[in-house]
Amino acid sequence: MSLEAGTKLGPYEILSPLGAGGMGEVYLATDSKLDRKVAIKVLPADVASSPERLQRFEREAKTVAALNHPNIVTIFGIEESGDHRFIAMELVEGETLDRMIAPSGMPLAKIFDIAIPLSDALAAAHDKGIVHRDLKPANVMVTKEGRVKVLDFGLAKLTATGQGGSSPDDVTMSAPLTGRGVVMGTVPYMSPEQLNGEDLDHRSDLFSLGIMLYEMATGQRPFKGKTSAIITSSILRDTPRPVQELNGVLPRHLGRIIERCLAKDPEQRMQSAKDIRNDLRALLKEVDSGSELSESQPVSIQTAVAPPPSSTSSTSVSGSSMSAPTRRGEFWIGVGVLAVVITLAAWWLGRDGSIANKVAVVEETSQDSVMARSGSTATLSTEDSSRPSEQPAKASITLAVLPFKNLGSPDDEYFSDGISDEIRGRLAKVRKLGVISRSSAFQYKNTDKTNRQIGSELGVDYLIDGTIRWDKRGGGAGRVRITPELIRISDDISIWSQPYDRQLEDIFEVQSDIAAQVLKQLQITLLEPERRVIEVKPTENSDAYHAYLRGLVYMAQPDYSEELYRLAIQMFERAVSLDPSFALAYVHLSVSHSAMHHHGYDPTEDRAAKAKSAVDRAFELQPGLPEAFVALGWYHYWCHRDYTRALEAFHVAQKDLPNDSRIVEGIGYIRRRQGKLEEATRYLKRALN
């Protein structure tokens, strides 16, 4: 029986119905305690007496509540009022994806805007062992602000590898479709194994995602029929037409991604949502740089000079199926196009023309990196780098720090990635050592490539790899077990490895000792300032440090969404509230505020003032802190377009951060805005290293 407007369910007052589904009716309601609108999903009275349905209802709430992701609907609580069981959840206002797909498909830019966060949301769910099982356009909402939200995990189940395990009862039957079993879901978006009533894993969702991508790209479903039986037969047997035959302007690689998602054998399918997300991101970079364009897509100057988006210290991007040479190749192709633009501009201007005056109209995209690739062997002046005296000397020894493998809970992935990057950061401050940027090294997270392949592709002499397990048992913060390994690429020999088993509060000493031992093995003698830097302990508060690492996770995402920036700010603010002397947390808090201003999410003077206040506090705590000068550079650049002061700050920071490509990249973007395109090209090339 439907609920009438004005019905009270605890603190919630029903306003109007929103819809209904297999798991219950959904209503718009008001939360009287917090004075906000919410969505209420109520289990219908005629099935509320079923213990099995109640169990599924409660499992839905617990399942979705365990997912903390900006692209998955938020659960506020599961409650009971009288005879009603219901879930209070985030009210998502917008338009469902099925209403947005035109008969001819969606624009390519819109496909990326939706498909990348959608696949990222699935990756987060799959990491916790959760399979959606009813993924379809009607279960994806796009808000007025353009944010993607995945709805209705009502058919989700926990796989055997997830928290809670699984049982035969996890698969709830509805309509019989095969002789082997009965299944639940929406037929046009089901995987072959789902239609056959087989056991499912996360790859079933990937098939459903492939159907959605196909429909977004072409306006048509890949498998058609007038009845469920015909559609089922088509999914099990037919090979859909290539998307390029239906929409010839699409990039070829998009068709390959969709084709791999639609493989009928799960073993031949794309193996993870992370792979799909990473491939889509890589393709977006290619399209932005002009290197992946169909014949019908002309190259504009604005597209040509826009750099591919890059990322900062990331602890969450992993499992890419794109190789490092492919990604580096994208950048070089983009730089090549930029060189062509420079030549054409010079020809157009003539000998007495000013490139700065004429080319400054080419606007920079909002894809400038936040705290972009965090390592480079280049040491650059803010002056014209074409002068021989300012050419950087190449380091005699180069290495890359790969993301250490997390042997603990999947929830600790941020911790293992963060520790890996902390070790990399300490080594990157040694002048005699060339340290590959974090973004390049982290492309090999969960890779099957050999050490020699990785070393060859990155062009390094050594790799640092390892494992981390954070054991929280026994009370307190627990113990951390880290086993690093230094590998020489020339003969693929491990020349040093040492297990560390310490209390969590000793983690900074472990990081410092690992860096020192690596330098000892490489026979690099430290200068005293360098020794002090690698032994630094940024905070005494372990909770503040964890909040700081989580903030870096959010800032690392290349999506540049307002939600991620706000989450990062929340984490950094928590870090400095727990430890008001945490200078590095203030540094990243400043950059987060500057990014909010730069990307247009809050381009107010108040936001700029917050960025300045945070970096000023960092300088008060640690005068001369190099990272604070980096943040100051981004503040002057992003909040005020004060290129002179930004360059001055980057130049000061570079003296103590010789391997920091954030600085090189920032200078390159500024030079581009100043119209110095040749110099910008050189800096951006070096930022890649």
Question: Across the chain, how many H-helices and E-strands are there?
Answer: 25, 20
Q: Looking at residue 307, what DSSP letter applies?
A: P
Q: Are strands 462-471 and 479-488 parallel, antiparallel or unpaired?
A: antiparallel
Give, in order, the Cα–Cα distances in Å from 577 to each of 142, 569, 617: 34, 12, 13
Q: Return the structure tokens found at 479.
A: 């113990």
Instruction: Please enumerate in sequence order all residues whose Cβ is within 8 A of that of 107, keeping only pairs 6 or more positions apart, or say none.
Output: none
CA 220 – CA 298 distance, rounded (Å): 26
Q: Which of 65, 63, 70 is nearest to 117 (CA)?
A: 70
Q: Which burial class, exposed, middle or buried, applies to 381 when counting CB atoms under 10 A from its CB (0-12, 13-18, 19+)?
A: middle
Work out the end-to-end distance of the chain between its first and last CA atoms, rounded to an integer number of angstroms: 64
475 contacts: CB under 8 Å, gap ≥ 6:
none
* Catalytically annotated residues: 134
The string of DSSP letters for 117-135 reads HHHHHHHHHHHTTEE-S--
DSSP, res 630 = H
Q: CA-to-CA distance for 610 and 573, rounded, in angstroms? A: 11
- Residues 458 and 324 sit within 8 Å (Cβ to Cβ): yes
Q: What are phi and psi of 634, to 5 degrees?
A: -65, -35
Task: Classify 555 as helix, strand or coil.
Answer: helix
Ordered strands of the 94-96 beta sheet? 94-96, 140-143, 148-150
Residue 94 CB neighbour total at 10 angstroms: 17
Q: Pick from 175, 171, 101: which is nearest to 137 by CA?
A: 101
Distance CA 385, CA 113 (A): 37
CB 611 within 8 Å of CB 601: no
